[in-house]
Each structure stands twice: as C-alpha cells, then as structure tokens.
A and B are shown apart, each in its own frame.
Chain A
Amino acid sequence: MSYLELLKLASPEAIVVLIALAVLAIGLTKSNPKPICSFVTAAGLAVAAGAALMLPGQATLFGGKLVISPLNTLFKIICLALAFVTVPLAASEKSLRNSGEFLAMLLLGAVGLMLLVGSEELLMIFIGLELLGLSLYVMAAFDKIDIRSAEAGLKYFLFGSTASAFTLFGISLVYGMTGTTALETIGQKLAATNFQPLLAVGVVMTLIGFAFKIAAAPFHLWAPDAYQGAPIPTAAFISSASKVASFVVLGKIVLVGFGPFHGSAAWHAMIAGWSPALAVLAAFSILLGNFVALAQTNVRRLLAYSAVAHSGYTLIGLIAGGRDGFSATLFYTTIYAVTLVGAFAVTGIVRRETGGDDLQNFASLAARSPFAAACMSIFMLSLAGLPPLAGFFGKFYLFSVALRADRGLLWLVIVALFGSFVSLYYYLIVLKFVFVEKSREARPLLAPPHFVTNATIAILAGAILFFGLLPQTLAARILNSLP
C-alpha cells in the first residue's frame, strides 16, 4: 500500500491535524485571533466531514487499526458535526483567552474522536482515548482565573488517568488470553474458549474504563464538577461528542470483541458475562442519576446528574445486543449529544447575561428572551422523553428493542421507565424557572446574542424536533450502516 493511498483513507484525520496546527499558528501571530481562528476551525471541520463523505465504502488497514465502514464513516461525520457546533459556543465565550489554543485542542480532540470511532483494534482505541482525554483535560482547565475550572480539570484528569490505567490493564489481560488486539479476532478466539476468571477480570477492567468515559455510576464522580466548572464549550464537548464516540467504541468492543461472553441479564436467568455487569451499571446509573439530580440547584450540575441517568438508558441497547440494540443505542446517544450541546449553548447565554448558571439565573428567561426559552424547553422536554421530540422516539426505540430481544429484561425497562418518570420533575423545574418564576431583581431584556450563536441553537432545536417527527431519517441510516 502506498503512502498516498493511506493518506487518502486517513484524509479526514489528516485534515483536522493540519487545521489544528494552522489554528495554533494563527493564534500565536494575530493580536485578536478569535474570529479568524473560529472561522478556520469551522471550515476545517466542514472540509474534513466532506473528506469523510468521499471515503470508500469498506477498507481495513493494519489488522483493524484503521477501518473504514459505513458505520465508522457515519459516526466520524456525526462527531465532526458535534465538534462543529461547539465552535460557536467557544467563539461566544468571553472568558476564554488564547482562543487559538483552545480551538487547536478542540481539533486534536476531534482527531481523537475519529481515531476512536474509526478503529477496531484495542491499542489504537487506547491511543484515541488518550488523545481525546488529554485534549479534554486541558480544555476543562482552560479558564485559568476560575478556580472551579481548575477543579474541573484536575478532577477530570485524576479520574480519567485512573480509568485509563484500568482500561490498559484490562486490554493487556485480554491480549494475554487471546494473543491479539484486533476485535474481530478476539471475538473468534473467545468463541472457542471457555469463560475463565482471568478473562472476566480483563473484561471488567476494560468496561470500567469506558464506564468512566460515559459517566456511568459509580464511576461518575468527576462529571458534576467537570460539567459545572469547565468552560461551557468544554462541558458541551465532553457531554456530546466524547460520549457518542465512547458509546460507538464500547458497543464495538462488547458486541464484536467480547460478543461470545454476552451472558444474560434476564431477571431470573442471569448468566455470567458482560451484559449483567452493564445491566447493573445501567440500573444504578438511572436510579442514582435521577434521584441526585432532583436535589440540584445549579443547571449544569443538574445536567451532569441527568447525564449519568441517560448513560444508563443508553446502555440498555447494548445489553439487548444485536444489530437493533446497537442501533438503538447509537440513535439515542446521538440525539442526546445534540440536545446537550443545545442546552449548554442556552446555559452559556444565560451565564453571560446574569453571571451564573443556577436555576435562579434562569428565572423569567421567557420574558427576556422568548427564543432562548423556547429552545430550552425543546431541549429539556426531549431529555425528559416527551413527544414529539427526538428523545421520546429514542426511549421508545431503546426500550422496545430491549423487550423484544429478551423478555427477561423487563426489570431493567421498568427501572428505566421509573427513572424517566422521576426525571420529568427536575426538567420541569428548570422550565418552571424559565416560564413561571419571576426573577428577584429586575433584569433587562437579554441583549440578543450573536446571530451565529442563535442560528446554532435554532438548528439544534430544529434537529431535535425534526428527528422526533421523522425519526426514520436518522434511525434507518444508522441501522443500514450496521453490518
């Protein structure tokens, strides 16, 4: 294989790396680099997405280190799009100095996302995770003046590096048992062996690393501080693109790599394997996330705990397994990511105007900015799973797939339904502040945010409504891209 051909197949990654270097250089030379850096970043991400569209349908390089398949390409584009909508958030964030560096980190994170999504080999996945992780640690601690930002960065870093150690340990055990790091070969080898305790340790350790990444309880402890303390664009990026990529990889690892050790999470017939482990994680996340979110007074913290719960819901698709289950998980996590970027964008507007992001800061938002209030209600109601928004279809898809795959998963579906019942309360509390509550001090009308910010929020809200009314457009695409 010639290098030119390799470069063609890795062109999206290559473009983003080049743009990252260019943005870094521009940021160093210009005196007011923010507008031009943002523009170059956005354009670069768009070009990379275009390059991803041009990729061939199927190719496997270096034993799975770089795999091009419809699924991987689709999710590369989705991750690039999520990074793209994060750029206007970063551009409108006044507290971010050195925006060139921030955007370069964002781009490097995007490379990490693409490596994660585009690889079916454990070592490469680990490299992708680390590249993504390191960029996110820096981005979380980027607001040097804000002590909360520093706390967010440090906590995220400490938990993240510990989780990486777990993952690496797990991977090494799996490698020791099977003699390979390519997911597909691991799957074939495992199908021929019995379930051994050492392998169970390897599987569980690997899962722990990912449970940290997707903030599933009890590995969620970094999330509230990171969501609350990190700069808004970072928080949006952590909760959206990083989560989507993690679910894609987690799905591939458990369904392809560890496929033979699926086990069973059915209530009366649990069989050892990864699915009961994930089921316990899911149930625990749903209950803990939703109940703790009830007590929050800060919107970003509330979103963090609800993120824990949503990770729990999303895991249900993987537990159900199969093509339908994976597709439901991917649909749900994509929709969730779009929603959260939007919610953080609105939170960003409120924070800039009122200086905080507590519930009280949202009081009477409806009077001050009907547009932001309307979009916020779309995001919150989609998270709560109310029609006709995409979150509703996502939940229906997930739960119906789970029940159809295995009637024994009824217990998990009941837990999830109960959780989403509880969650309605706190989402409504946010909306109550937006629409009903009067703010303590008289605040003027919101100065209209930059029209790019407004347009981004409008597009995200529109997407939630569109995918809610016509879920087929996204669901069929995801389902067809799965082998």
Chain B
Amino acid sequence: MIAWTIYITFAGAVVILLLPRIFAHWIALIATLAGFAVSLETFFRPDVDLAHFTTIVRVPWVPALGMNYHLALDGISLALVLVTGIAAVSAVLFSWDVVDRAKEFFFWLLLVVGGAYGVFLSADLFLFFLFYELVIVPKYFLIAIFGSTNKEYGAMKLTLYSFFGGALVFLGILAVYAATGSLDLNQLAQFQFSPQLQSWAFPVLFLGFAVLAGIWPLHTWAPTGHVAAPTAGSMLLAGIVMKLGAYAGLRVAMNLFPQGFQMWHSSFAVLAVIGIVYAAAVALRQRDLKFVIGYSSVSHMGFVLLGLATANVFGVSGAVLQMFSHGVIGALLFAVSGTMIYRRTHTRDLDALSAMNLRRTLPFAAFTFVIASAASMGIPGFSGFAAEITILIGAWKVYPVAVWIVGAGMVLVAAFTLRALKRAFFDVDPAMADAASPQMEPITIPEKLGAGLLMFATLAVGLYPKLLLDRIQPAVETLRFLK
C-alpha cells in the first residue's frame, strides 16, 4: 500500500504536464494529499511490522546485474515518509499563488517529492541511488526558474554540492557492489565487509550523504540555496531533501559498515558539534530573515548528525525524531518568511521588516512565527524539544563534553531565533506606532491550512512523542551497528 505514495506522486507529475495549466494546482494538491493519506493509513495500521525492514514489493529488474525493484518499510522510513507527505502538502498549499509557468513548477515539485518517497522506501541500492539522484535536477529548476535572491548562483551551487556528494556515494556503492555482487540492502546488512574496505568506504559514503544533510564544512549550499529558492523550494529542501542525506547515512553507510562507523564516529560527532554551534553563531549576525532560518536548518541538522554519531538507541532514535521534527518546523519557518511575509512586503531584510509593524498588519503570520520559533528553540511541548532532549540523553553517555558545548549552542539558537522574531514582528518604532499601517493582502485560506497542518504536526509530536518513538525505536534496535 505505502508503495503507492511513489506511484501517485509520479503519476500526478505526468498528469500535470498533460492537462491545461488551470488544473496544475489542484492535481498537485490531490497527488500530495493522496500520498499523505496513504502514509497516514499505514502509520495507524496495527498489523505492520515496523521493527524490521520488511519487503513490500520485489520484482526482478536487471537480473544480469542483480538489480531488483525492491521496496521495503520499517519504522524509520515510515516516519520520514510521513514527514515527506506533510511537507509536500503544505508546500503545495503555500505555492497556491504560483501562476507563471505553473505546470513546470508543480511538475518539478512532484518529482522531488516522488524521488524522496522512493529513497525512503528503497531496499535495493541501485534503486535507492536512482531515486536519490532523481531529486537533484528538479531542485535546480525549481530554484533557478522560480527563485528570488541570486537564484542562479544558489541553484547551481546547491546542485553541484549535491552532485559532488552523489559522486562520493556512487563510488561507495560501486565499492559495495564490487565486493559483494549484491545490491539488496537487507542481504548487505548481513554481509561481513573486510575492515580495510570499511575503513575507507564508510567515510566516503557517509560524507557523500552528509553533504545533503548540511554537515559542516560542506553546508554552505544550504543557506544560499534556501534563500534563493521559492517558498515551496525551501520548504522541500528543509523538510525533505536534507533528510534524504541523514536517512541515507543511517540506512546505508552506518548499517552496512558497522566497523567503519566505529572507526569514524567520533570525527563525525566533532563535525556535528561544530556545525551546531557555528551555524547558530552565524545566524545571529544575519540581516536576511531567510538566511537566519537557513543557518538554523544547518544547526538543527547538526543535532541529527550528532544523534547518529552517538551509536546508541537513544541517540539514533532521537536523530530520526529530529529529522521529522525539523522537517515540519523548517518548512513552517520558511513558509512564514517566504510566502506570508516576503510575498507581501517584498523584503526579508530584518531592519526593513521591523519598520513595518507586521504584528498589526499580519497577525496570523506573527502568530505562526511565534509558534515556529518556540518549536525551533526547543520549548517543551513542541517536537523540537522531544527530539533534541532524546539526542542529548544519548550523547551524554558517549560524549559528555559535546553535550556541554551543544548546550551552549542551544542558547545561541534561542538568541538568534528571538532576535529574528523581535526584529520581524515586535520591534515597534514608537514614532510609527500610531501611523496607519500599510494595507496588505490578508493571509489566504491555503496559507492558513498549510500553516495549520504544520503547527498541528509539531504540537502533536511534541505533546505525545511516543506516537513516533514507538515506531522508530524498535526499528533502530534491530540495526546491526547497535548490536
């Protein structure tokens, strides 16, 4: 059943190309809603084995080379399929105002979404890599055609970084394939690779994936890419694409090469900690609201990498939870800054925004941004808190020093979030307080629906994290490198 997320999304993409432009929005909405509904249905079905990577479909594809069309599901992939559905639906809702070249826009958008579903469900390494690379080019067009600030530069930078990571991944996959002759992830997870191979193939693969997850120092594509992208583009980047890298690092690199992981995990933990603190510090100095959020994405993804590097059940489960959580929160932050604010004010400069008295003119945007900021800072009750505290508990057992540094970093996160919040919405100039505020188009219904969906998701998981953790943890416990 869950395999239909992939088919529906790609079918939607094709249908958009075939039908006239006026239908594009609706088809995209229907396709993403259907995908989301399918993932929800699986999520709440009691009889699904989420502890093991269970095969859903397996059809021979290129028998001569041992390639199969092989999809599988466990709790980790289900959580990520779900966040893909949420981010996709809200991204379409926040793109309701796209009119120019709308067919192309939603075609590329659905390709990204479908590719992401494919990555999260693939159990064949070749199929996995196919979907993984499939996501790269649509992102380029989404940003380069429909983006804003410095869009061509941002798009090309993002694409080249992704493709560079892709080349490393390609090399790692070839090494796996040459050593075993198999591409089946479940089989490979049983295979004993030689330590010599693991010692170089693990960092190559993991680093290749981590480029997409925004690991320091290969994160620089993320802020520029996020800023250049149209709203839906940055929502998908933050909500889905960065998760691809982290998920793949866990599913492929760590699970296939446990010994390689043992050799390298502390180095990656160091990079993760630097990323968390460094990106938060940089975000503190940004003037462009989207740059602030872009760097906060890098900082939050640092938590994911730190969680993965802990190599214990708490840390890794927390990392998966953080992928979900940041997918929702990141999408929400970009939705507010990109569509609710930028489309109406045509500026994202914090100084300019502070003069606009947005709290009065766009109260709903202010409300949404407050919720999103609270979730992003890790206030209890939101998903960010549940995820980050789980990661830190896991990390405390392995790297107590890192937890102290990250704790300091979290203060920086709170600082830049509050600064952005204050400058954008609550920095009322006394001279302007009584002046008539400029008229702005009110927040539209699709925007409210999209924001509502995202806020509901972060609250639901924040108040009741067991909802996800109960599905993630059993799957994490069966991963090989934890035994």
Contacts and interface: CB of A to CB of B under 8 A. Distances in A.
22 contacts: A386-B134, A386-B136, A386-B137, A387-B130, A396-B126, A396-B129, A404-B177, A404-B181, A410-B175, A417-B167, A417-B171, A421-B166, A421-B167, A424-B160, A428-B156, A431-B141, A432-B156, A435-B144, A472-B61, A472-B62, A475-B62, A475-B65
Given A400-B174, A432-B152, A421 B136 contact: no
A201 interface: no
B171 A414 contact: yes
A356 to B, nearest CB: 23
Interface string A415-452: 00110110011001001100110000000000000000
B133 A392 contact: yes
Contacts of B175: 403, 410
Contacts of A407: 178
B178 to A, nearest CB: 4
B183 to A, nearest CB: 9
A456 to B, nearest CB: 21
Contact of B163 (A421, A435, A475): A421
Interface in B151-197: 152, 156, 159-160, 163-164, 166-167, 170-171, 174-175, 177-178, 181
Complex A-B, nearest 5 residue pairs according to Cβ-Cβ distance, in ascending order: A403-B178, A387-B130, A421-B167, A417-B167, A472-B62
A421 B136 CA distance: 13
A388 interface: yes
Interface residues of A, number: 33
A413 B174 contact: yes
Interface in A357-400: 366, 381, 386-388, 392-393, 396-397, 399-400
B181 A436 contact: no
A387 B128 CA distance: 11
A424 B141 contact: no
B145 interface: yes
A271 interface: no
Interface in B436-452: none
Contacts of B104: 366, 435
B64 interface: yes
B160 A476 contact: no
Contacts of A413: 171, 174
B135 to A, nearest CB: 10
A475 B64 contact: yes
Interface SS of chain A: helix, strand, loop or mixed? helix
B74 to A, nearest CB: 24
B62 A471 contact: yes
Range of interface residues on B (Cβ < 8 Å): 20 to 34
Given A404-B177, A417-B171, A472-B61, 9 more contacts: A396-B170, A396-B174, A400-B174, A400-B177, A403-B175, A413-B174, A421-B160, A421-B166, A472-B62
A403 B177 CA distance: 9
Nearest to A410: B175
Nearest to A381: B137
A381 B134 CA distance: 10
A432 B156 CA distance: 10
B63 interface: yes
A400 B126 CA distance: 11
A475 B61 CA distance: 12
Contacts of A431: 140-141
Contacts of B171: 413-414, 417
A55 interface: no
Nearest to A395: B170
B130 A472 contact: no
B181 to A, nearest CB: 7
A428 B159 CA distance: 9
A377 to B, nearest CB: 8
A428 B177 contact: no
B167 A425 contact: no
B156 A479 contact: no
Contacts of B126: 396
Interface string A63-105: 0000000000000000000000000000000000000000000
A255 B20 CA distance: 54
A399 B173 CA distance: 11
